Amino acid sequence: MPTRSKNKEFTEPDCSDIQYLTIALNLANESLIRAKEDNQALKQEYLLTLDALVTEKTQQLVTENLILHQKLSEKNKADQQLYFDAHHDVLTKLPNRAMFSDRLGCALRHLKRHQDQQYAVLFIDLDRFKLINDTLGHHAGDIFLVEIAKRLSTCVRENDVLARLGGDEFVILLDSLTSDDAEEVSNRIINSIEQPYEIDTNTVYSSASIGIALCNRSYDSSVEVLRDADAAMYQAKSLGRGRYVFYDESMREKLIATMTLEQELRVAIVEQQFELHYQKISDLNSGQVIGFEGLLRWNHPKKGLQTPSDFLYLAEETGIILAIETWVVEEVARQLHLLQDDIQYQHAFIAINLSGRHLTQTNQLHKLITLIKSQSFDPQRLILEFNEKAFIHHEELALKGLRKLKKAGVKLALDDYASGVSSFSFLHNYPFEFIKLDRGFISTLQNSNRNLPLVKALHDLGDKYGYRLVAEGIETDAVMLKLHAAGCDFGQGYHINKPEKIQITTLKTQDKNCA
């Protein structure tokens, strides 16, 4: 059968084929194993590379993060330093005006909500600081201020705010006051500041003037509180320094009056509201009028005629005095020029009192000399009077100024001698040609002869040192006779003549009523 024949044709595989297939299979398995091994190696290498890359990136991120943190820290420190610098004094490291005003403002707002809370502001000004600064230099002044800051810090409590406003001005905000806290702290400060200071081998002294303003609900800003504490401080200085004064409303009124007066003085200069009245100066031996003293008057549009005691103190304090005295020199120059044509007074002199600023401020001295030289009169007919205050702090400078004025041709007089502790050196070391005895000293001669020997001695010294003696404030004939007997050369006062205007138009035709 066909099927049978097909079966007969089937042959079993050869052993060599099986062996070949087995080898091939083994080879394939080995290849697969190697491939797996290579794949595993590649995978391991990839993982290692990836791990290294991750590690590298992580380290880079950590480094960048550290740098960022460092920069942020530096920025924070810089911001803190900027804030500190903006709110603290560079020299003493105390809070400055900005920070103090902010704290005081917070206290005032708190006070409006809590009426039982009490605050006070102490305004402290150091006496003699300018003298220390000018004498020893700014470096010594800085050392002094740092020491002041340390001493003040020991006088306040932990919850108080101590600040430096600038210069030699310090302020304290006293928090949670009891009845006597402000006085106790002020006394501690005054006692501490009065102790001596050792600066660059020099021992210096100072004192503190303190103004105290008690905070209340009527205050709307820190500026108002500081203003009132400052006003009280100036009151303390005027009372003798080294003390404290509480603010009251009368001080405010006085300040307003002072500001008004200053404004009116400036207007008076522009509108030329000043005038000179003249008082005769007579020879006590012959009775002849030898000259006049020009006395300043302010013809106030509302208050009428004002004497120097009403306004000159403020003119000195504000520096307005220089402008006023420039006008005085010009007016006296005009008067002397007019007197040149008068038979009776063509050789008379006119004396005027000037501020010591003309001697100690070089530019002002130069202006004064230039002004005098530009006028059409003989400078020897002008007598410039200075009182002892002009020489207290700057003796050498003032003496040089006097010598320059004398060289310019004017005559010099020392005014108000014997009004206090008068120095003998003024009589022989300074180029004065006249020594004018103070009216207060002269008034003692009315009821006593005790000071007459001094008048006689001063007259005798005048012969030796080259000055003439003038008595001011002669009010009676008896005093004039005593002065004449004691040898006093010249005199002036209400007994001789009251200050009046010189009537130029009648000088040639009448008995010159000069005043």
Q: Token pair for residue 199?
A: 């600066």
143, 229 in Cβ contact below 8 A?
no
325, 348 in Cβ contact below 8 A?
no
Alpha helices in 408-503 (DSSP H): 425-428, 439-443, 452-465, 477-485
pLDDT of residue 39: 84
CA 304 to CA 189: how far, in whole Å?
46
Alpha helices in 194-320 (DSSP H): 222-238, 249-271, 312-318
472, 457 in Cβ contact below 8 A?
no
pLDDT of residue 508: 45
pLDDT of residue 76: 83
pLDDT tens by residue, 278-313: 999 999 999 999 999 999 999 999 999 999 999 998
Q: What are the two backbone dihedrals, phi and then psi, of residue 331, each rounded to the nearest 5 degrees?
A: -70, -40
CA 515 to CA 510: how far, in whole Å?
14
Query: 324 vs 268, 297, 320, CA distance in Å?
Result: 9, 11, 6
Query: In one letter, which amino acid is 96?
Result: N
Angle between the 321-339 and 362-373 helix axes, to the nearest 10 degrees? Answer: 20
pLDDT of residue 11: 57
418, 452 in Cβ contact below 8 A?
no
Cα-to-chain-centroid distance, residue 33: 98
Q: Which residues of the chain have pLDDT under 70?
A: 1-14, 421, 503-515
pLDDT of residue 513: 38
Query: 3 vs 9, 87, 350, CA distance in Å?
Result: 10, 119, 173
Pairing outcome for strands 490-491 and 161-166: unpaired
Structure letter (DSSP) for residue 362: H
- Model pTM greater than 0.95? no
Alpha helices in 1-14 (DSSP H): 2-9
CA 64 to CA 157: how far, in whole Å?
47
CA 344 to CA 512: how far, in whole Å?
8
Q: Sort 393 into a burial class: Cβ within 10 Å, 0-12 / 13-18 / 19+.
A: middle
283, 490 in Cβ contact below 8 A?
yes
Query: 449 vs 181, 284, 324, 474, CA distance in Å?
Result: 54, 18, 39, 15
Give the position of tokens 């180029």: 431
Query: How many residues are given for the chain?
Result: 515
Q: Token pair for residue 141?
A: 């002044």
Q: Token pair for residue 118?
A: 């009490």
pLDDT tens by residue, 318-373: 899 999 999 999 999 999 988 888 888 888 999 999 999 999 888 999 999 999 99
CA 330 to CA 371: how far, in whole Å?
8
CA 216 to CA 246: how far, in whole Å?
14
How many other CB atoms are found less than 10 A from the CB of residue 467? 24
Could you please report the per-residue DSSP string of 325-385?
HHHHHHHHHHHHHHHTT-TTTTT-EEEEE--THHHH-HHHHHHHHHHHHTSSS-GGGEEEE
Q: Token pair for residue 310?
A: 């009403």
Query: In one letter, which amino acid is 274?
Result: F
pLDDT of residue 509: 42
CA 82 to CA 109: how far, in whole Å?
27
pLDDT of residue 478: 95
How many other CB atoms are found less than 10 A from the CB of residue 290? 17
412, 442 in Cβ contact below 8 A?
no
User: Residues 68-106, buried b or exposed e (16+ Cβ, 10 A)?
Assistant: eeeeeeeeeeeeeeeeeeebbbeebebbbbebbbebbbe
Residue (of 345, 308, 333, 327) closest to 499 by Cα position? 308
500, 294 in Cβ contact below 8 A?
no
Largest CA distance in the chain: 196
